[in-house]
Amino acid sequence: MLSHGYKQKKVFYAQSGGVTAVISACAVIETARRFPKKIGMVHAGHNGIPGALHEELIDTFCKSIETIASLLSPPCGSLWLLPL
């Protein structure tokens, strides 16, 4: 519990579509990391919605900043390349 009474929030991101979705995911992850007192974790669905449905989640906070940033550059522009 934080001193101001708020709990850390959890974020879930499931991409759909191509590289634009990955760029959006990187923005979500990077923004969340800037506010660790408010956002405690970001999970992403492995392969997007199917990962959510099959409970195949990626804990993006366990990935390095460099790994997340590398998703912005082809051919790595996809969250499904991150191991679960």
**Three state DSSP letters for 12-74:** EECCCCCHHHHHHHHHHHHHHHHCCCCEEEEEEECCCHHHHHCCCEEEHHHCCHHHHHHCCCC
Report percent pLDDT > 90 for the chain: 12
> Would residue 2 count as lying in a domain?
no
Q: Which residues contact 25 (CB under 8 A, 6 or more apart)?
A: 13, 15, 44, 71, 79
Reduced to 3 states (helix: H, G, I; strand: E, B; else coil), residue 10 is strand
Residue span of the structural domain in which 20 resides: 9-81
Q: Is 54 a member of any domain?
A: yes
User: pLDDT tens-digit profile of 2-30?
Assistant: 445 567 889 888 876 665 666 677 888 88
| 42 within domain boundaries | yes
Note whether residue 34 is domain-resident.
yes
Q: 4 in a domain, yes or no?
A: no
- On whether residue 76 sits in a domain, the answer given is yes
Q: How confident is the model at residue 1 (pLDDT cuts 50, 70, 90)?
A: very low
Give pTM, 2 decimals: 0.68
The total of structural domains in the chain comes to 1
